Each structure stands twice: as C-alpha cells, then as structure tokens.
Structure 1
Amino acid sequence: MDEMEMFRRMAVAIAIGAAVGVERHWRERDEEDGARTAGIRTYTLIGMFGGVAALIERYLAPTGTPTGLVLVGFLVTLSAAFVLFQYREEMAANSFSATAVVVEMMTFALGALAVLGDLTLASAGGVVLVAILASREFLHAAIRRLRWAELRSALILLTLTFVILPIVPTAPVGPFGGVSPAKILIMAIVLATISFCGYVAVRLLGDTRGELVAGTIGGVVSSTATTVANARRSIGHEAVLPLAAGAISAGGVSLVRTGFLVFTLAPSLVATLIVPLGAGAAVMFAYALLLARRPGQPHEEKRAPKNPFDLDSVIKMALLLVGVAFLARAASEIWGASGLYLASVLSGLADVDAVTVTVAGMLPSLTERTAAMAIGLAVLSNMVAKAAYAAMFGAKGFFVNLWMASAVAIAAAIGLFMAINGWLA
C-alpha cells in the first residue's frame, strides 16, 4: 500500500465517521453542549480511530498478516469508555437504548475495514448504516402498523426465496426437456410476490388505485401470473372491478413488453408487429383506466385481503403454468419445425416471452411472415388463455370485464395486423 492509497483509505474511514456523526448530531441537535455522549466530532474521530487502529495492526503484524489483536484491544477499550458515558447520559434522560453503542462499534469497524479490507464494501456499509439510523421513525411506524398475517407471509416468501430455492435442484426431470423443480418454485415465488405487492399497494393506495398500480407492476414480471393471482383473489372480494382493472393493465404491459423484445431482438419484424401490439396495449390500458374510474368504486377506501397470499393456491397455479409450458415443448419436439405454430399457441398459454425470444433466434431460417405469425399466435393464445383462467378461477365481474377488454384489444390488433400484411385487400 503506497502513501496515496493509504491517505485515500484513511479519508474514507474519516468520511464514514463524519456521515454517521452528522445523523447522530442532527437527531440530538437541540441538546446543549455536553449533554450528548457523541456528536459529529466524536463519531468522525471514531471512524478515524478505526482507520488508525487498522494501520497500526498492519504495521505491527510480524509476518505481514494482521492477527487482529490490536484491533480487538482498541475496540474493547473504546467501547468500554463509550458505554460508561452513554450509561450516564441515559440515566440522566431516563431513556435506555443499545443503539448508540452498536453504532459506535460499527463506525469503528467500518473505519478499520476501509483501511485493511474492501474499500467499496466499507463505503457501502457506511451508507447503509446512516440510512438505517435515519429511518428510525419510518421503521418504528411500519412495525406498529404491521399485522401478523403480513409478517408471516413475508417470512414465508423470504424462506422460499433465500433458503429453499438455493437447495432445490435446477436440472430438468423427464422427457422433452423435462420440468425443473427450481422453475416450479420460481413461478410460485413470482405468484406469491405479485399477490404480496398487490396487498401492500391496496393498503397504501386503496382498492382501486392500489390494484391498478399492482397489476401494472405485476405485468412486468408475468401478466399471466398476475391475472391468475387477481382472479383467485376476486372470489369473495368486494372490490372485484379494481382487481379486473389491475389484470387488464398487466395484459397491456405484456403487449408492450413483447413489442420491446421484437424491437430489440427482431428489428425486421417491427413494421409488421409493433403497430398491432401498440394498438392492443392502448385498448387494454384505456379499458383499465375507465374501469378504475367507474363511478361507485371505493377510490379512497383502504381495504386489503386478510391474507397477502394463499400458499396452497400459489403452488397449484405454479404447477399449472409450468405444466402448460412443458406441453408446449413436447408438441414442438414431436412435430418439429412444422409444429412451430402449434408450439407457439401452446407456449402462449403460459408465456409469450419464450416464443418471442425463440422465434427471433430462428429468423435466419424463417421467413418474416412465418416469424410474425408465430409471435402473433403466441400473443393471441396468451390473451385468450388469461381470459379463460379468469373464467375458471375468478368472480363473474372479474372475468366478464377481462373478456370484454381482451376481445376489443384482439380485434384491434388482428385488424391492423391483417391490414399491414395486405390480407384485407
């Protein structure tokens, strides 16, 4: 480590302490001088102290490899002194918290890390530390509003994502490319996440606006999954129309996403597909907005389902969607290239992106007309399938509106598609 590098690392250690000190001092800015244990100067010095301790540790290491004894000794000494002063301050204020002591230790540790370890990691740690400290009121208020059903659902979702998913086999099992257990779990996580985001949006924004925003966001991930999730929730739900608006908006986002994939992966198909896809998306968005603004809807009432998501239903729906995708691959392999249209239709029952990406990669060996037809059939199949899922799993008000929006969007898209290709002549 040359001198410039050493100065740079020490500067970061001092900056971390100063950033923490600003937040700590600001929070107790009304206190008189001498009434607080540590402020901007003290925390700046603690960050610097951690950097100096790391340098001493490095220079005193007999073999060039730090043993940690110097750092531990300095940290214990500093913490002991800090705890004493903090104890006297809290006794005087009759307010007790271990946060200040932990912050002191973290500031020292990050200062040492900046000198001895990864500079980027130390900087990021300092930013996160300050962000956590500054979010005290928000975090406390959020915990006060948190319900057990929300906490339980969040824990289940986190467990599925970070505990179970990493150990689930990813290799496909079975013929025709098989089915990956990890893919089933990923689909279940996507469905549960969409439902959870919809629940949070409704609590924050109310039924109508919350469902519309949640559906639009869900469409970026999977419009099919969003439709299925909203359909399941519509049974017994008082606000059926906002759920339908969210699912319809997700369908519009799906068409926009397909158009983006065509634009980036298959530019030669832009002239054929972009206008029909854009027209269909415009119809879906307009219908969703009109449905959300329909008189008599609870625009501002903030209700939410009792349970953010039903895990049993989520797993069943994931199995269904993955099974449909498997049948599509099987049909493609059995009938070969001549089964491209059939494979597109079957794949569209679950997802359009896979067909779009696959067909774009096959363009050198496909005519533009064939490629456009394959993608168009997948989009059509997906829109009809979502309407069918809505009828299978949703309430009457939900699936009737989804059918009407889909029918108008399909008519507009097909009419423009045929006109562009000269099939109406």
Structure 2
Amino acid sequence: MKSGSASRDFLLRTATPFLMGGMFFTPMLVLRIGGFTVGDVLFFVASGLVLLSTAPRPPRQPAIQVALLLGLIGSALVLAQTPNIAESTMVSIRVLFVWSIWQFAVRKWAEHPQQLSVLVTCFAVGAAASGAVAIGQAYLGLSVPGTEIVHGRVPGLATHVNGQGGALAVATAMTVGLLLARVRARLHLACLVLIVIGLLLSGSVTGMLAAIVGTFVVMIAQKASLGRLFAILGTAALAVLAALNLQTLVPGASSPLDRFLDTTGQSDSEGTLASRVATYIWTWERIVASPLVGVGLDANSGGTFDGQTQVHNMLLLVWFQGGLLLLTAVLVVIAYTVSAFAKMPPNTLKAPLLGAFAGALTFAMTGPVLYDRWFWLPFVLAWALPVAIQRDVDHQVHPNAKAIVTPQT
C-alpha cells in the first residue's frame, strides 16, 4: 500500500459496487445464498470494506446508541422465553446490524449527496426488475423457484406478495420523488411504470395505500407545481383504470378492487381486515398480561389466535415478541429519524426519502414488519444524507483538500 489515503480510496471504491448491488437486490428477497439474501451478503462485504478503510468516522448518534443498547438488552431477555433461540437470535442480529454496522458504513462511505442518489436509483431499478418478473409470471407463466402465485396475487422476486407490496411501495415514493426532481427522468419513469404494475399485480392493499401516502408526502415536501400535480393525478387515474380492468388485462390476476373488498370483508371470502383486528386484540391481551419481556422473536413465538398469523402491526409485534425495551428502541429510532428530517437542509433527496419513510411506516402499521431491509432503507439513507451534504459543503469550502472518496457514478 502506498499510503493510508491511497488504501482508503481503494477500499471505499471497492465497496461502491457492493453497496450498489446490495441496493439493487434488496427487493429480491427470494434470491438467497444460504440463509441470507443476496442483498444482505453484498451489504456485509461492503460494510466490511468500509469499516476497514481509514476514512473519517461520521458523527456520533447518541440516540441510536441508546436504541442499540435497549435493543440488545431486550433481545437478550427474550432468549429465556423463546423455544427457538437460534432463530430469535438471528432476527435480533439482523435488526441490530441495520442500526449499527450497515448505517455506520453508509454514513462513512457517503461523501456527496449524488452518491446516495445513485443508491436510490439502484434500489428503484431492482424494484422495477421485480415488477418486470411479476409481469412475466402473470402473462408468460414464468416460474421462479421459491415464489408462488396465490389467489391471483403475483409475488415477483419476493418470497411473499406482501413483501413485494411493501418493497415496491417504498420504491414508488423514492422513484416519484426523483422523477419530479428530474433526476435521471427517463430511467425513473420507466422504473415507475414497472414498479406500479408489479405493485398492482401483488394485490397488496396495504402496499398500494403506502405507495399513495408516500407519493403525496413527496409532492407536499417538494411543493410540486400545479402542472406536475396534474401529471401525477393523471398517471394515478390511468393506474386506477388499469387496476379496475386488471382481470381483463391479465386473466386470473387479483383485481385491486376485489382485494379491497376481500380485505374489508365485503365479499364472499373471509375479510383480512377482520383477521388483522383479531391479531391486535389477541396480542394486546398478552401484552397487558406480560408487558416487560417478549415471548421471542422467532416466527412460531409470534403466532397469534390461530398459532400462525403474525400480528399485522409493527409496534404491537415488537412489543409482544421483543418486549418493552425493544419497543422503546424502535420508537427512539423512529423519533430520531423524524428529527433528522426536520433538521435536514434542502436537498433533492430529502423529499423522496421522506415520502419513502412515510410509506414504510404506513405499511408497517398494518403488516408484520421488523427486520425487512427495504423498510429500514429510508431510515439509513436519511441518517446518511446530512453527513454527505456537510462533507460536500466542506469540500467546496476547501476545494484543494484531498477528497475522502470519489466513487465513479
């Protein structure tokens, strides 16, 4: 190695394609190496390279450190309650990895906001690829090992249609935000079309609702002009028209209107809304009986009234399975992220990330979400953006200073 800075540049440059690849594969939960998704494996490699570099450490995050401590203690306490220690431990490690190593590596790596914009684009392209696969599954009978079309609902490259709905809802907000900001407009327009189609084919009512909430938050945050507002509303009208005629366009597919009727119990099938409420009631009764220590983070411990269905609300799920300490940790992380957005200076990425954050939370309030990487992605990027903005400003003030890293984007 010629010097510390040369080594630092090499390690961070080497980490860049792994980070980009991790973002691209994040929506593709069915693609795995052993027990880990391909996206996770790439993030592990990228994080290791960044941590080994001699780049300056990002600012400390006392609130996240407190959340990590609470999460670690809470996760340790539930091990005495769970029959599946190995699975419960793996779940807690995945969550704590996001709050510690992954987010630290992204903040250490990012020197310019444009670099984070490239990561968002990689995620959008990955979501579009999953949407394209869903089209192939619906129209061409494409078979993807590990996935299954259930009641006309198409999963794309996710292991479950709800995972497809959540990932594509977050991607919708991010893509709309960058499209409105005219960042790689043609690419993001093409991605948005595939993402929306994939979201409709998933039949995830919660995902569609999260996408709508995220999109409107983006528009409000960007103070979109009247012309752009009408353009978005026109696109939304076309999407609704396509949704209402989805069964005609794709025979056998689950119509979003039918899915809404099913969810709300207005059809012949059992309403999923009623079953979700049943999980809330059942879980709340157990929380009241034992509010301090959870029952375990493994899937079997999280079964509710029928022994299988997970409670479809992130906060109740965390409290029931992880206990009060882990719930407090999650609330600290959410509050810290809200504060980060409030203090964040204006930037092209702020509105897309804020919309994705709102969409992710909307989905999590009616879904069993905990360690899904697509859920935490807006959090991590929101924590990294202020660091990248400040470094970019410092570089402009001191243009002769050697850059920490300048990955080719």
Class of the TM-score when normalised by the shorter of the 2 chains? under 0.3
Q: When you count helix as a share of all residues, which structure comes out higher?
A: 1
Instruction: Identify which of structures 1 and 2 has the higher relative contact order when contacts are C-alpha pairs closer than 8 Å and 6+ apart.
Output: 2
TM-score of the superposition, structure 2-length normalised?
0.24
TM-score of the superposition, structure 1-length normalised?
0.24
